Chain A
Protein backbone atom coordinates (compact mmCIF):
# COMPACT_ATOMS: atom_id res chain seq x y z
CA UNK A 1 0.00 0.00 0.00
CA UNK A 2 2.94 2.24 0.63
CA UNK A 3 3.24 4.32 -2.51
CA UNK A 4 5.89 6.77 -1.34
CA UNK A 5 8.00 8.11 -4.10
CA UNK A 6 10.35 5.27 -4.98
CA UNK A 7 13.84 6.12 -6.03
CA UNK A 8 14.26 5.39 -9.72
CA UNK A 9 17.77 4.83 -11.01
CA UNK A 10 19.02 4.43 -14.55
CA UNK A 11 22.05 2.18 -14.80
CA UNK A 12 23.70 2.60 -18.17
CA UNK A 13 26.86 1.62 -19.95
CA UNK A 14 27.78 4.24 -22.50
CA UNK A 15 30.38 3.69 -25.16
CA UNK A 16 31.91 0.66 -26.68
CA UNK A 17 33.12 -1.60 -23.90
CA UNK A 18 30.89 -4.59 -23.41
CA UNK A 19 31.79 -5.51 -19.87
CA UNK A 20 28.69 -5.07 -17.77
CA UNK A 21 29.36 -7.43 -14.89
CA UNK A 22 30.02 -4.52 -12.52
CA UNK A 23 26.96 -2.61 -13.71
CA UNK A 24 24.81 -5.69 -13.13
CA UNK A 25 26.16 -6.23 -9.62
CA UNK A 26 25.38 -2.60 -8.79
CA UNK A 27 21.92 -2.82 -10.39
CA UNK A 28 21.16 -5.86 -8.27
CA UNK A 29 22.40 -4.19 -5.06
CA UNK A 30 20.27 -1.11 -5.72
CA UNK A 31 17.26 -3.32 -6.41
CA UNK A 32 17.82 -5.12 -3.12
CA UNK A 33 17.88 -1.78 -1.32
CA UNK A 34 14.34 -1.13 -2.55
CA UNK A 35 15.01 1.10 -5.55
CA UNK A 36 13.54 0.70 -9.03
CA UNK A 37 16.46 0.17 -11.36
CA UNK A 38 16.10 0.65 -15.08
CA UNK A 39 18.83 -1.28 -16.80
CA UNK A 40 19.43 -0.46 -20.45
CA UNK A 41 22.26 -2.75 -21.43
CA UNK A 42 25.60 -2.20 -23.08
CA UNK A 43 26.85 0.08 -25.86
CA UNK A 44 24.49 2.97 -25.24
CA UNK A 45 24.93 6.27 -26.99
CA UNK A 46 24.70 9.45 -24.89
CA UNK A 47 21.47 10.25 -26.77
CA UNK A 48 19.91 6.89 -25.85
CA UNK A 49 20.85 7.33 -22.20
CA UNK A 50 19.42 10.83 -21.96
CA UNK A 51 16.21 9.82 -23.77
CA UNK A 52 15.79 6.91 -21.37
CA UNK A 53 16.35 9.20 -18.38
CA UNK A 54 13.77 11.62 -19.75
CA UNK A 55 11.07 9.03 -20.45
CA UNK A 56 11.65 7.03 -17.29
CA UNK A 57 11.74 10.18 -15.10
CA UNK A 58 14.64 8.88 -13.05
CA UNK A 59 16.17 10.56 -10.02
CA UNK A 60 19.67 9.29 -10.62
CA UNK A 61 21.82 8.13 -13.51
CA UNK A 62 24.67 5.76 -12.87
CA UNK A 63 27.19 5.51 -15.67
CA UNK A 64 29.65 2.66 -15.74
CA UNK A 65 32.62 3.22 -18.02
CA UNK A 66 35.60 0.94 -18.34
CA UNK A 67 36.77 1.96 -21.78
CA UNK A 68 38.69 5.12 -20.90
CA UNK A 69 36.33 7.23 -22.99
CA UNK A 70 34.87 9.04 -19.96
CA UNK A 71 36.54 12.27 -21.09
CA UNK A 72 34.26 12.27 -24.13
CA UNK A 73 31.12 10.50 -22.89
CA UNK A 74 30.50 12.42 -19.65
CA UNK A 75 30.66 15.91 -21.21
CA UNK A 76 28.30 14.85 -24.00
CA UNK A 77 25.80 13.30 -21.58
CA UNK A 78 25.90 16.30 -19.23
CA UNK A 79 25.37 18.65 -22.16
CA UNK A 80 22.37 16.68 -23.45
CA UNK A 81 20.84 16.49 -19.96
CA UNK A 82 20.99 20.28 -19.65
CA UNK A 83 19.56 20.69 -23.14
CA UNK A 84 16.53 18.57 -22.22
CA UNK A 85 15.98 20.34 -18.91
CA UNK A 86 17.22 17.41 -16.86
CA UNK A 87 19.97 19.27 -15.05
CA UNK A 88 18.51 18.30 -11.69
CA UNK A 89 19.22 14.58 -12.08
CA UNK A 90 21.97 13.23 -9.82
CA UNK A 91 24.68 11.84 -12.11
CA UNK A 92 27.20 9.35 -10.76
CA UNK A 93 30.08 7.54 -12.42
CA UNK A 94 31.75 4.23 -11.85
CA UNK A 95 34.20 1.86 -13.46
CA UNK A 96 37.80 2.61 -14.24
CA UNK A 97 38.33 6.34 -14.08
CA UNK A 98 41.76 7.76 -13.11
CA UNK A 99 41.68 9.97 -10.02
CA UNK A 100 43.33 12.79 -11.91
CA UNK A 101 40.29 13.02 -14.17
CA UNK A 102 37.76 13.25 -11.35
CA UNK A 103 37.97 17.03 -10.66
CA UNK A 104 37.31 17.77 -14.32
CA UNK A 105 34.24 15.49 -14.32
CA UNK A 106 32.91 17.08 -11.15
CA UNK A 107 33.26 20.47 -12.74
CA UNK A 108 30.89 19.24 -15.47
CA UNK A 109 28.28 18.42 -12.85
CA UNK A 110 28.99 14.75 -12.19
CA UNK A 111 28.31 14.43 -8.46
CA UNK A 112 30.63 11.61 -7.54
CA UNK A 113 32.82 8.88 -9.01
CA UNK A 114 32.81 5.46 -7.40
CA UNK A 115 35.80 3.35 -8.27
CA UNK A 116 36.61 -0.31 -7.72
CA UNK A 117 36.58 -1.49 -4.11
CA UNK A 118 33.74 0.77 -3.08
CA UNK A 119 30.97 -1.03 -1.20
CA UNK A 120 27.46 -1.00 -2.64
CA UNK A 121 26.21 0.30 0.69
CA UNK A 122 28.36 3.43 0.29
CA UNK A 123 26.69 4.07 -3.05
CA UNK A 124 23.19 3.39 -1.71
CA UNK A 125 23.74 5.74 1.21
CA UNK A 126 25.15 8.40 -1.08
CA UNK A 127 22.11 8.25 -3.35
CA UNK A 128 19.64 8.35 -0.46
CA UNK A 129 21.38 11.27 1.26
CA UNK A 130 21.80 13.36 -1.84
CA UNK A 131 18.26 12.81 -3.09
CA UNK A 132 16.64 13.67 0.21
CA UNK A 133 18.50 16.99 0.24
CA UNK A 134 17.32 17.75 -3.27
Chain B
Protein backbone atom coordinates (compact mmCIF):
# COMPACT_ATOMS: atom_id res chain seq x y z
CA UNK B 1 0.00 0.00 0.00
CA UNK B 2 1.85 3.02 -1.32
CA UNK B 3 -0.26 5.64 0.39
CA UNK B 4 0.47 4.21 3.85
CA UNK B 5 4.22 4.36 3.20
CA UNK B 6 3.89 7.93 1.99
CA UNK B 7 1.93 8.90 5.10
CA UNK B 8 4.73 7.46 7.22
CA UNK B 9 7.18 9.58 5.27
CA UNK B 10 5.12 12.67 6.03
CA UNK B 11 3.13 13.26 2.84
CA UNK B 12 0.15 15.51 3.52
CA UNK B 13 -1.31 14.62 0.15
CA UNK B 14 -1.24 10.88 0.95
CA UNK B 15 -2.80 11.55 4.36
CA UNK B 16 -5.64 13.54 2.78
CA UNK B 17 -6.17 10.86 0.11
CA UNK B 18 -6.29 8.07 2.68
CA UNK B 19 -8.91 9.92 4.71
CA UNK B 20 -11.04 10.18 1.55
CA UNK B 21 -10.51 6.49 0.83
CA UNK B 22 -11.67 5.50 4.31
CA UNK B 23 -14.52 8.00 4.42
CA UNK B 24 -15.94 6.77 1.12
CA UNK B 25 -15.35 3.11 2.01
CA UNK B 26 -13.45 2.67 -1.21
CA UNK B 27 -11.49 -0.49 -2.04
CA UNK B 28 -8.23 -0.69 -0.14
CA UNK B 29 -9.45 1.37 2.81
CA UNK B 30 -9.64 -1.46 5.31
CA UNK B 31 -6.32 -2.91 4.13
CA UNK B 32 -4.73 0.51 4.66
CA UNK B 33 -6.20 0.77 8.17
CA UNK B 34 -4.81 -2.66 9.01
CA UNK B 35 -1.35 -1.28 8.30
CA UNK B 36 -2.05 1.99 10.11
CA UNK B 37 -3.38 0.48 13.33
CA UNK B 38 -0.02 -0.69 14.77
CA UNK B 39 1.36 2.83 14.27
CA UNK B 40 -1.26 4.46 16.48
CA UNK B 41 -1.44 5.26 20.19
CA UNK B 42 0.95 8.17 20.51
CA UNK B 43 -1.39 11.09 19.93
CA UNK B 44 -3.57 12.57 22.66
CA UNK B 45 -7.16 13.05 21.56
CA UNK B 46 -9.18 16.06 22.67
CA UNK B 47 -12.91 16.17 22.02
CA UNK B 48 -14.78 19.46 21.98
CA UNK B 49 -18.53 19.34 22.04
CA UNK B 50 -21.42 21.62 22.90
CA UNK B 51 -24.52 23.28 21.46
CA UNK B 52 -24.42 25.24 18.19
CA UNK B 53 -22.98 28.69 18.68
CA UNK B 54 -21.08 27.91 21.89
CA UNK B 55 -17.84 28.74 20.12
CA UNK B 56 -16.41 25.29 19.49
CA UNK B 57 -14.56 26.24 16.30
CA UNK B 58 -13.04 29.35 17.83
CA UNK B 59 -12.02 27.39 20.94
CA UNK B 60 -10.45 24.76 18.69
CA UNK B 61 -8.54 27.48 16.87
CA UNK B 62 -7.25 29.04 20.10
CA UNK B 63 -6.38 25.77 21.83
CA UNK B 64 -4.45 24.80 18.71
CA UNK B 65 -2.56 28.08 18.80
CA UNK B 66 -1.62 27.51 22.43
CA UNK B 67 -0.49 23.93 21.71
CA UNK B 68 1.56 25.18 18.76
CA UNK B 69 3.15 27.80 21.00
CA UNK B 70 4.32 24.88 23.11
CA UNK B 71 5.70 23.20 19.98
CA UNK B 72 3.16 20.41 19.71
CA UNK B 73 1.85 19.39 16.30
CA UNK B 74 -1.93 19.29 15.90
CA UNK B 75 -4.51 17.56 13.72
CA UNK B 76 -8.08 18.85 13.68
CA UNK B 77 -11.23 17.02 12.62
CA UNK B 78 -14.14 19.43 12.34
CA UNK B 79 -17.56 17.89 11.86
CA UNK B 80 -20.66 19.56 10.47
CA UNK B 81 -24.04 18.05 9.65
CA UNK B 82 -25.08 16.42 6.38
CA UNK B 83 -28.47 17.44 5.02
CA UNK B 84 -30.86 14.54 5.53
CA UNK B 85 -32.71 15.65 2.40
CA UNK B 86 -30.00 16.09 -0.20
CA UNK B 87 -26.94 14.39 1.29
CA UNK B 88 -25.02 17.62 0.78
CA UNK B 89 -23.24 19.57 3.49
CA UNK B 90 -21.81 22.99 4.13
CA UNK B 91 -18.61 22.60 6.11
CA UNK B 92 -17.78 26.00 7.53
CA UNK B 93 -15.57 25.39 10.55
CA UNK B 94 -12.45 26.55 8.75
CA UNK B 95 -13.83 30.08 8.72
CA UNK B 96 -13.10 30.31 12.45
CA UNK B 97 -9.73 28.62 12.16
CA UNK B 98 -7.91 31.23 10.11
CA UNK B 99 -5.32 31.67 12.82
CA UNK B 100 -3.88 28.20 12.33
CA UNK B 101 -4.89 27.29 8.78
CA UNK B 102 -1.61 28.35 7.22
CA UNK B 103 0.58 26.61 9.81
CA UNK B 104 2.11 23.56 8.16
CA UNK B 105 2.22 21.65 11.44
CA UNK B 106 -1.56 21.86 11.67
CA UNK B 107 -3.74 19.61 9.53
CA UNK B 108 -7.44 20.46 9.37
CA UNK B 109 -10.02 18.15 7.87
CA UNK B 110 -13.71 19.05 7.63
CA UNK B 111 -16.09 16.13 7.68
CA UNK B 112 -19.82 15.74 7.18
CA UNK B 113 -21.82 13.47 9.48
CA UNK B 114 -23.24 11.52 6.50
CA UNK B 115 -26.14 10.21 8.51
CA UNK B 116 -24.40 9.42 11.80
CA UNK B 117 -26.39 10.65 14.77
CA UNK B 118 -23.97 10.66 17.69
CA UNK B 119 -22.29 13.98 16.88
CA UNK B 120 -19.43 12.44 14.88
CA UNK B 121 -19.14 10.89 11.44
CA UNK B 122 -18.57 7.18 10.93
CA UNK B 123 -15.06 7.74 9.61
CA UNK B 124 -14.01 9.93 12.56
CA UNK B 125 -12.22 7.23 14.51
CA UNK B 126 -10.31 6.03 11.45
CA UNK B 127 -9.33 9.60 10.64
CA UNK B 128 -8.06 9.98 14.20
CA UNK B 129 -5.89 6.90 13.68
CA UNK B 130 -4.54 8.26 10.41
CA UNK B 131 -3.58 11.58 12.01
CA UNK B 132 -2.07 9.67 14.93
CA UNK B 133 0.01 7.45 12.63
CA UNK B 134 1.05 10.53 10.66
CA UNK B 135 2.65 11.76 13.89
CA UNK B 136 0.43 14.50 15.25
CA UNK B 137 0.95 15.05 19.00
CA UNK B 138 -2.60 16.24 19.62
CA UNK B 139 -5.77 15.57 17.71
CA UNK B 140 -8.76 17.79 18.31
CA UNK B 141 -12.20 16.57 17.31
CA UNK B 142 -14.87 19.24 17.08
CA UNK B 143 -18.31 17.61 17.05
CA UNK B 144 -21.38 18.96 15.31
CA UNK B 145 -23.44 21.31 17.44
CA UNK B 146 -25.09 18.90 19.84
CA UNK B 147 -28.29 18.90 21.84
CA UNK B 148 -28.66 16.55 24.75
CA UNK B 149 -27.86 13.07 23.64
CA UNK B 150 -24.96 13.07 21.19
CA UNK B 151 -22.33 11.49 23.35
CA UNK B 152 -20.20 9.48 20.90
CA UNK B 153 -17.30 11.81 21.58
CA UNK B 154 -16.59 10.16 24.97
CA UNK B 155 -15.94 6.91 23.19
CA UNK B 156 -13.54 8.52 20.75
CA UNK B 157 -11.57 11.14 22.69
CA UNK B 158 -9.23 10.85 25.68
CA UNK B 159 -10.66 14.02 27.18
CA UNK B 160 -14.08 15.51 26.50
CA UNK B 161 -14.54 19.23 26.80
CA UNK B 162 -18.09 20.49 26.97
CA UNK B 163 -18.41 24.09 25.83
CA UNK B 164 -21.51 26.06 26.77
CA UNK B 165 -22.44 29.72 26.77
CA UNK B 166 -24.57 31.93 28.98
CA UNK B 167 -28.23 32.14 28.05
CA UNK B 168 -28.60 28.53 27.01
CA UNK B 169 -31.48 27.50 29.25
CA UNK B 170 -32.52 27.22 32.88
CA UNK B 171 -30.76 25.20 35.52
CA UNK B 172 -32.84 22.06 35.07
CA UNK B 173 -31.18 21.64 31.67
CA UNK B 174 -27.96 21.15 33.53
CA UNK B 175 -29.10 18.15 35.52
CA UNK B 176 -30.73 16.23 32.72
CA UNK B 177 -29.03 13.03 31.67
CA UNK B 178 -26.84 12.85 28.60
CA UNK B 179 -24.56 15.55 27.38
CA UNK B 180 -23.94 17.17 30.78
CA UNK B 181 -22.60 13.91 32.14
CA UNK B 182 -19.75 13.56 29.70
CA UNK B 183 -17.60 16.61 30.36
CA UNK B 184 -14.14 16.03 31.84
CA UNK B 185 -13.70 19.77 31.60
CA UNK B 186 -16.46 22.37 31.29
CA UNK B 187 -15.94 25.62 29.46
CA UNK B 188 -18.26 28.58 29.83
CA UNK B 189 -17.34 30.47 26.69
CA UNK B 190 -18.42 34.01 25.81
CA UNK B 191 -17.92 34.71 29.50
CA UNK B 192 -18.24 38.46 28.97
CA UNK B 193 -21.96 37.95 28.50
CA UNK B 194 -24.57 38.31 31.22
CA UNK B 195 -25.18 35.21 33.26
CA UNK B 196 -21.72 33.67 32.89
CA UNK B 197 -21.06 33.52 36.63
CA UNK B 198 -24.49 32.08 37.31
CA UNK B 199 -23.91 29.40 34.70
CA UNK B 200 -20.57 28.48 36.26
CA UNK B 201 -22.31 28.13 39.65
CA UNK B 202 -25.07 26.03 38.16
CA UNK B 203 -22.66 23.64 36.50
CA UNK B 204 -20.62 23.35 39.71
CA UNK B 205 -23.79 22.62 41.66
CA UNK B 206 -24.81 20.03 39.12
CA UNK B 207 -21.42 18.38 39.45
CA UNK B 208 -21.73 18.54 43.25
CA UNK B 209 -25.11 16.82 43.14
CA UNK B 210 -23.60 13.81 41.51
CA UNK B 211 -23.94 10.85 43.83
CA UNK B 212 -21.10 8.84 42.39
CA UNK B 213 -17.70 9.32 43.99
CA UNK B 214 -15.39 11.02 41.57
CA UNK B 215 -11.64 10.87 41.50
CA UNK B 216 -11.61 13.78 39.10
CA UNK B 217 -13.86 16.76 39.67
CA UNK B 218 -14.40 18.43 36.30
CA UNK B 219 -13.17 22.01 36.44
CA UNK B 220 -15.39 24.78 35.09
CA UNK B 221 -13.39 27.36 33.17
CA UNK B 222 -14.50 30.72 31.88
CA UNK B 223 -13.17 31.73 28.48
CA UNK B 224 -13.62 34.46 25.92
CA UNK B 225 -12.13 32.59 22.98
CA UNK B 226 -12.28 35.47 20.54
CA UNK B 227 -10.05 37.46 22.90
CA UNK B 228 -7.79 34.58 23.90
CA UNK B 229 -8.94 34.82 27.50
CA UNK B 230 -8.82 31.68 29.62
CA UNK B 231 -7.25 29.57 26.88
CA UNK B 232 -3.94 29.04 28.70
CA UNK B 233 -5.83 27.87 31.80
CA UNK B 234 -7.88 25.52 29.65
CA UNK B 235 -4.81 23.95 28.05
CA UNK B 236 -3.24 23.62 31.51
CA UNK B 237 -6.32 21.75 32.71
CA UNK B 238 -6.24 19.48 29.67
CA UNK B 239 -2.67 18.54 30.59
CA UNK B 240 -3.52 18.14 34.26
CA UNK B 241 -6.38 15.84 33.35
CA UNK B 242 -4.10 13.85 31.09
CA UNK B 243 -1.67 13.36 33.95
CA UNK B 244 -4.53 12.22 36.15
CA UNK B 245 -5.66 9.71 33.53
CA UNK B 246 -2.17 8.32 33.10
CA UNK B 247 -1.42 8.06 36.84
CA UNK B 248 -4.76 6.50 37.73
CA UNK B 249 -4.52 4.00 34.90
CA UNK B 250 -7.74 5.36 33.49
CA UNK B 251 -6.24 6.34 30.16
CA UNK B 252 -5.44 2.72 29.39
CA UNK B 253 -8.95 1.75 30.54
CA UNK B 254 -10.61 4.35 28.37
CA UNK B 255 -8.60 3.36 25.34
CA UNK B 256 -9.38 -0.29 25.85
CA UNK B 257 -13.11 0.51 26.11
CA UNK B 258 -12.82 2.59 22.97
CA UNK B 259 -11.37 -0.31 21.02
CA UNK B 260 -14.08 -2.58 22.39
CA UNK B 261 -16.77 -0.19 21.08
CA UNK B 262 -14.99 0.18 17.76
CA UNK B 263 -14.83 -3.56 17.19
CA UNK B 264 -18.53 -3.91 17.90
CA UNK B 265 -19.28 -1.04 15.52
CA UNK B 266 -17.15 -2.60 12.80
CA UNK B 267 -19.03 -5.87 13.15
CA UNK B 268 -22.39 -4.11 13.15
CA UNK B 269 -21.41 -2.18 10.06
CA UNK B 270 -20.26 -5.30 8.24
CA UNK B 271 -23.52 -7.08 9.03
CA UNK B 272 -25.47 -4.02 8.04
CA UNK B 273 -23.80 -4.10 4.63
CA UNK B 274 -25.20 -7.59 4.08
CA UNK B 275 -28.64 -6.42 5.15
CA UNK B 276 -28.44 -3.41 2.87
CA UNK B 277 -27.54 -5.44 -0.19
CA UNK B 278 -30.07 -8.13 0.65
CA UNK B 279 -32.88 -5.58 0.82
CA UNK B 280 -31.56 -3.83 -2.28
CA UNK B 281 -31.65 -7.06 -4.28
CA UNK B 282 -35.11 -8.08 -3.07
CA UNK B 283 -37.06 -4.84 -3.03
CA UNK B 284 -40.27 -6.36 -4.41
CA UNK B 285 -40.17 -9.27 -2.00
CA UNK B 286 -39.81 -6.93 1.00
CA UNK B 287 -42.53 -4.62 -0.33
CA UNK B 288 -44.91 -7.57 -0.58
CA UNK B 289 -44.05 -8.79 2.94
CA UNK B 290 -44.58 -5.26 4.20
CA UNK B 291 -48.00 -5.18 2.58
CA UNK B 292 -48.92 -8.50 4.22
CA UNK B 293 -47.60 -7.38 7.57
CA UNK B 294 -49.56 -4.14 7.45
CA UNK B 295 -52.68 -6.18 6.67
CA UNK B 296 -51.94 -8.55 9.56
CA UNK B 297 -51.51 -11.55 7.28
CA UNK B 298 -47.96 -11.95 8.53
CA UNK B 299 -46.06 -10.69 11.53
CA UNK B 300 -42.90 -8.60 11.45
CA UNK B 301 -41.02 -10.72 13.97
CA UNK B 302 -40.97 -13.75 11.71
CA UNK B 303 -39.72 -11.70 8.77
CA UNK B 304 -36.93 -10.24 10.91
CA UNK B 305 -35.91 -13.69 12.10
CA UNK B 306 -35.89 -15.15 8.57
CA UNK B 307 -33.91 -12.21 7.25
CA UNK B 308 -31.26 -12.69 9.93
CA UNK B 309 -31.04 -16.36 8.97
CA UNK B 310 -30.56 -15.46 5.31
CA UNK B 311 -27.81 -12.99 6.21
CA UNK B 312 -26.11 -15.62 8.34
CA UNK B 313 -26.16 -18.04 5.40
CA UNK B 314 -24.68 -15.45 3.08
CA UNK B 315 -21.96 -14.62 5.55
CA UNK B 316 -20.97 -18.23 6.06
CA UNK B 317 -21.01 -18.79 2.31
CA UNK B 318 -18.63 -15.88 1.82
CA UNK B 319 -16.40 -17.11 4.63
CA UNK B 320 -16.00 -20.47 2.91
CA UNK B 321 -14.90 -18.97 -0.38
* A residues neighboring B (CB under 8 Å): 1-6, 8, 27-28, 30-41, 45, 47-48, 51-52, 54-57, 84-86
Check B86 against A34 for contact (C-beta < 8 Å). Answer: yes
Bound Cα distance from A31 to B90, whole angstroms: 6
Check A36 against B91 for contact (C-beta < 8 Å). Answer: yes
Q: Number of B residues whose C-beta is below 8 Å from A?
A: 35
Using known A-B contacts A31-B83, A36-B112, determine if residue A84 contacts B13 with beta carbons closer than 8 Å: yes
Check A31 against B86 for contact (C-beta < 8 Å). Answer: yes
Given A1-B272, A47-B102, 4 further pairs, Cβ under 8 A: A30-B88, A35-B88, A37-B91, A45-B102
Residues of chain B with a CB closer than 8 A to A34's CB: 86-88
Q: Nearest chain A CB to B284's CB is how many angstroms away?
A: 19
Check A85 against B13 for contact (C-beta < 8 Å). Answer: yes
Residues of chain B with a CB closer than 8 A to A30's CB: 88
* B residues neighboring A (CB under 8 Å): 12-13, 16-17, 19-20, 23-26, 82-83, 86-92, 94-95, 98, 101-102, 104, 107-110, 112, 114-115, 272-273, 276
Residues of chain B with a CB closer than 8 A to A41's CB: 92, 94-95, 98
Bound Cα distance from A52 to B92, whole angstroms: 12
Check A32 against B86 for contact (C-beta < 8 Å). Answer: yes
Check A36 against B94 for contact (C-beta < 8 Å). Answer: no
Check B101 against A52 for contact (C-beta < 8 Å). Answer: yes
Residues of chain A with a CB closer than 8 A to B83's CB: 31-32
Q: Which of A2, A5, A55 contacts B107 (CB 8 A)?
A: A55
Check A5 against B19 for contact (C-beta < 8 Å). Answer: no
Closest residue on chain B to residue A11 by CB atoms: B90
Check B101 against A4 for contact (C-beta < 8 Å). Answer: no
Q: Nearest chain B CB to A97's CB is how many angstroms away?
A: 24
Q: Nearest chain A CB to B71's CB is how many angstroms away?
A: 20
Residues of chain A with a CB closer than 8 A to B24's CB: 3-6
Q: Which of B26, B95, B112 contacts A5 (CB 8 A)?
A: B26
A-B residue pairs in contact (CB < 8 Å), sample of 9: A3-B23, A6-B24, A6-B87, A37-B89, A40-B94, A41-B98, A45-B102, A56-B16, A85-B13
Residues of chain A with a CB closer than 8 A to B114's CB: 3, 6
Bound Cα distance from A37 to B109, whole angstroms: 12
Q: Which of A5, A6, A38, A54 contacts B13 (CB 8 A)?
A: A54
Bound Cα distance from A56 to B112, whole angstroms: 12
Residues of chain B with a CB closer than 8 A to A45's CB: 102
